[in-house]
Amino acid sequence: MNRTSLLDAFRSPMAAAALSFLAVVAAISAFAPLLAPCDPEAVDMGNRLAPFSLSHPLGTDHLGRDVLSRLLHGGRHTLLLALAASAATMAIGLALGIVSGYFGGFADDAIQWFVQLFQGLPGLSFMLAIAGTLGPGAASLFIAVVITSWADFSRIVRGETLKLREEHYVEAVRAMGSGHGRIMLRHLMPNLLGPIVVLFTVRIGRTMLAIASLSFLGLGLQPPLPDWGVMVSDARTYFRSYPHLMILPGMCIAAVSLAINLLGDALRDGWDARTERNGEEWR
């Protein structure tokens, strides 16, 4: 039976392109301070809303700040936050999902009660509420994202765990006298990783959009931070005359979001192909 690895997903040109693009974005975001021609927060009221020029290839914004530099810096906070929040969600969801699925019984019932409670929360609205209560900023964004996402995640992990729990190799290890911890860590977790990685990728994309949206509404990251969401928000007033101030950061958000989704799709295809029993007919 042919078994492709998750990495085979990158044979598709779209997926490879998405991955390369994201790699470039990540590199740019990481090295922005070195790459940017100007300080993204340097105000120059004498040179506001300047057109494209050699010293400012993409012009300046309403406070005279270099647009190009701000764009280069623009992904840093959002991406980092999205990654951190998704990682935390995954960690919580994974831990609770495995415990719930593996032990069943009372622990399962208890955890699932919480899951159902949190799953019922309307995502974006709740994030708004939290951001509103705790005050805007990265910290409350982080909390908001984790609170609204962990439940869904843990449910999926639980489902997969329930399936895996019945596999012969788990029974074999139990028959050998293994303790619960070993089974969960060495036998369940690695086999859950496949679908989890796919979910994780998709989740980062959604989180990114949520953060950008909240920042746009003024409830997330705040000015003067050079962040794409903030930039879109700042440019609202000047949209008629200077549309590029809003369109450029908007395109960045859209492009990265799209790339992440394509990546997630490719990984999912790779995973599906891997578990697809196309070899069955040959037997």
- Residue 221 has which token pair? 């990251």
* Nearest distance in Å: CB 110, another protein: 16
* Nearest distance in Å: CB 134, another protein: 41
Using omega within 30 degrees of 0 as the cis cutoff, is the peptide bond preceding 136 cis?
A: no
- Residue 129 has which token pair? 């509420």
Q: Which CB sits closer to another protein, 62 or 274?
A: 274
Q: What are the residues binding another protein (CB under 8 A)?
A: 1-4, 8, 104, 166-169, 171-179, 182, 186-187, 190-191, 193, 273, 278, 281-283
Q: Which CB sits closer to another protein, 56 or 187?
A: 187
* Tokens 């040179």, located at residue: 47
Q: Which CB sits closer to another protein, 216 or 271?
A: 271
Q: Which CB sits closer to another protein, 103 or 142?
A: 103
* Nearest distance in Å: CB 23, another protein: 24
* Nearest distance in Å: CB 194, another protein: 9
Q: Which CB sits closer to another protein, 6 or 232?
A: 6
* Nearest distance in Å: CB 169, another protein: 5
Q: Which CB sits closer to another protein, 240 or 280?
A: 280
Report the b/e string of 57-80 with b at 16+ CB within 10 A: ebbbbebbbbbbbbbbbbbbbbbe
* Nearest distance in Å: CB 175, another protein: 5
**Distance between CA 29 and CA 267 in Å, rounded?**
24
